[in-house]
Amino acid sequence: MPGPPGSFPLGAAVTMRDLDTSLHPLLRRLRASEPVSWLPVLGGWLVTRRDLALRVLRDSSTFTVDDPRFSTARVIGPSMLSLDGAEHKRHRDPFADAFRMAATAARLEEIAEAEAGRLVAGFAAASRAELRRSLAGPLAVAVVADVLGLGHVAPEVILAWYDEIVAAVSALAGQSGEGHEPSTATGGSAAFAELTASLRAAIARVHGDSLLAAVAGAGGLADSEVVSNAAVLMFGGIETTEGMICNAVLHLLDHPAQLADVIADRRLVANAVEESLRLEPAATVVDRYATADVALAGAAIRRGDLVTVSLAAASRDPAVFPDPDRFDLHRANVRQNLAFAHGPHFCLGAQLARLETRAAVAALLRLPGLRLDPERRLAPRGIVFRKPPALHVQWDIPGL
């Protein structure tokens, strides 16, 4: 794709490696000098200022997800993630209504707390653990399995489906940063076919008590549409929640004084989760496509252009968040972060992800002397989804 009119020297120099390993210093420079910049490496525009991000996210008629290039739809079909307007509302509303049910929220919170406690108890005697695979991932899978009525499916099978679908979407988006080839989409299609069969069986259960059963029973969506949207919930519910948990624990353990405050007052767990979301959202970007020529902060965006909003940059905008790179448990306006996006496509499972992360952190804080393993510290990485590749921790065993 040829470059746009105008000059964007900072954007022109950006590499995929920069986006993966040097993200926040790069976003700081772009936000200050080129808040809407053309990045050849992405083949589109990157929006980094919070006010501009809000303008894009709120205006689904000018900046849409409904485009044949949208990678997720190419793997799982049309869903609330890839539709706008009336069709988006038709797909989203049944799921939103189910999530809003008080009984559903109470059930999911109970499951998250019980599962987090069970997982931590399972490794508590070991004095060390890698939390991404021993806590964050398994907890996210367990909750998603309950939401989708897949409690009868082995967690490793659900993870295998998820891994294949994520790899396929990343490969099609060209932003995996992990060497995936476009042919990976074939594996994603096979995984989605297996997931579809299990979801259809869950829908068919007359007495199912999952959120998925409630949506299917409400009518308004064909079974194939319920399945596509359920795949979106699985995709987001595992990936972003796993990242949220890892990032929140990493931030807390990296700030011992603030960790001590949380241990002294467990009500601060929610603040810690929210501030971690602001500093390092698990999903760093969302994509839109321009439906018309439009000017944005001096950039001449053309109809059809890819417009990527950096949620990570918007949530560190110093115009809104003073001293934005500092982890601050008591930040007054922390809820103004855009970690779950904004507008019509605000993350449907935001509250569920928050309660899972709070449950995981609270369960971990029962381990005395919890700390990062100083020999195996890894920083968050990722171009689209961002978390530490592994999170190694240690704690004290009384009497040893």
CATH at residue 68? 1.10.630.10
Domain assignment present for residue 382? The answer is: yes
- Residues in the chain, total: 400
Kindly state whether residue 160 falls inside one of the protein's structural domains. Answer: yes
Note whether residue 1 is domain-resident.
no
380 neighbors 250 (Cβ within 8 angstroms): yes
Q: Tell me how many domains the chain contains.
A: 1
CB contact at 8 A, 334 and 273? no
**pLDDT given at position 399:** 60
Say which residue the tokens 């804080």 belong to.
365
The answer to whether the CB of 48 falls within 8 A of the CB of 32 is: no
In Å, how far are 37, 43, 237, 302, 388 from 2, measured between CA atoms? 14, 9, 36, 12, 35
Tokens 């299609």 locate to: 189
- pTM, 2 dp: 0.92
Residue 253, pLDDT score:
97
Cβ 175 vs Cβ 284: under 8 Å: no
State the pLDDT at residue 149: 87
Domain-located, residue 3: no
Task: Tokens for 227, please give them.
Answer: 């399945």
d(CA 282, CA 242): 8
Q: Which domain holds residue 316?
A: 9-394
Is 391 within 8 Å of 130 (Cβ atoms)? yes
How many helices and strands, by DSSP H and E, does the chain display?
Answer: 17, 10
**285 neighbors 310 (Cβ within 8 angstroms):** yes
pLDDT score, position 124: 96
- Which is it for strands 299-301 and 36-39: parallel, antiparallel or unpaired? unpaired
pLDDT in tens, the chain (400 residues): 455 656 899 999 999 999 999 999 999 999 999 999 999 999 999 999 999 999 999 999 999 999 988 877 777 888 999 999 999 999 999 999 988 888 888 889 999 999 999 999 999 999 999 999 999 999 999 999 999 888 888 988 988 888 887 777 767 665 433 333 444 455 567 888 888 888 888 887 755 667 888 888 888 899 889 999 998 898 889 989 999 999 999 999 999 999 999 999 999 999 999 999 999 999 999 999 999 999 999 999 999 999 999 999 999 999 999 999 999 999 999 999 999 999 999 999 999 999 999 999 999 999 999 999 999 999 999 999 999 999 999 999 876 5
Whether residue 400 lies inside any domain: the answer is no
With tokens 């020529």, the residue in question is 293
2 occurs within a structural domain: no
Q: Where are the beta strands (DSSP E) in the chain?
A: 36-39, 44-47, 63-64, 128-130, 285-290, 294-296, 299-301, 306-310, 371-372, 392-394
- The answer to the question of residue 41 being in a domain is yes
- Taking a C-beta distance cutoff of 8 angstroms, is the pair 356, 245 a contact? yes
Residues 57-69: b if buried by 16+ CB within 10 A, e if exposed = beebebbbbbbee
Count of alpha carbons within 13 Å of 26, Cβ hemisphere only?
A: 22
Within-domain flag for 4: no
